[in-house]
């Protein structure tokens, strides 16, 4: 599967990224299929240089952007949609959150039921 992601270049404590198209299982520093732009996070986000036509082409061919690349594309207007969160939740944590939501729903349910009965009477 093709992915669009950042490949870090630059000096120590001076990050600079190339936006590259690669196979998802390849090392980010290995040769890229195509370089689609560059991004300097030390400057404003508007200073990123993107080849928008090529990015749109590869997205239409099924390439998947990384979360950070997707958020940058949305900021620049290359893509439409909501930004992705960079933080992922583990399965155990998701299960714990679901249990907490279910418990909260049980606590809130009895309070709403008497009010609904009083409104009908």
Query: Would 81 be classed as within a structural domain?
Result: no
Looking at the fold, whether 57 and 94 belong to one and the same domain comes out as no
Which CATH number belongs to the domain containing residue 54 in this structure?
Answer: 3.30.1320.10
Looking at the fold, whether 11 and 66 belong to one and the same domain comes out as yes
Query: Would 84 be classed as within a structural domain?
Result: no
Tell me 82's DSSP state.
P
Q: Is the pLDDT of residue 82 over 90?
A: no
- Is residue 48 left, alpha or beta, with left meaning phi > 0 and alpha meaning psi from -120 to 50? beta
**Lowest mean pLDDT across 15-19, 67-71, 78-82, 116-120:** 116-120
Query: Would 61 be classed as within a structural domain?
Result: yes
Query: Would 82 be classed as within a structural domain?
Result: no
Looking at the fold, whether 110 and 54 belong to one and the same domain comes out as no
pTM above 0.85, yes or no: no
First to last CA, the chain: 61
**Closest C-alpha among 28, 25, 3 to residue 17:** 28
In the chain, pLDDT over 70 holds for what percent of residues?
88
Domain hosting residue 96, numbered range: 90-121
Split into its structural domains, the chain has a count of: 2
Q: Is the pLDDT of residue 69 over 60?
A: yes
- Residue pLDDT, tens place only, 23-46: 989 887 889 999 999 999 888 766
């Amino acid at each position: 599967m093709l992915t669009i992601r950042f490949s870090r270049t630059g000096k120590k404590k001076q990050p600079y990224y190339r936006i590259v198209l690669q196979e998802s299982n390849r090392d980010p520093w290995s040769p890229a299929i195509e370089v689609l732009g560059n991004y300097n996070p030390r400057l404003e986000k508007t200073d990123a240089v993107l080849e928008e036509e090529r990015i749109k082409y590869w997205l239409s061919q099924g390439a998947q952007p990384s979360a950070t690349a997707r958020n940058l594309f949305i900021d620049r207007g290359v893509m439409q949609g909501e930004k992705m969160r960079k933080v992922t939740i583990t399965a155990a944590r998701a299960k714990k959150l679901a249990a907490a939501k279910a418990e909260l729903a049980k606590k809130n349910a009895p309070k709403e039921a008497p009010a609904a009965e009083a409104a009908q009477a």
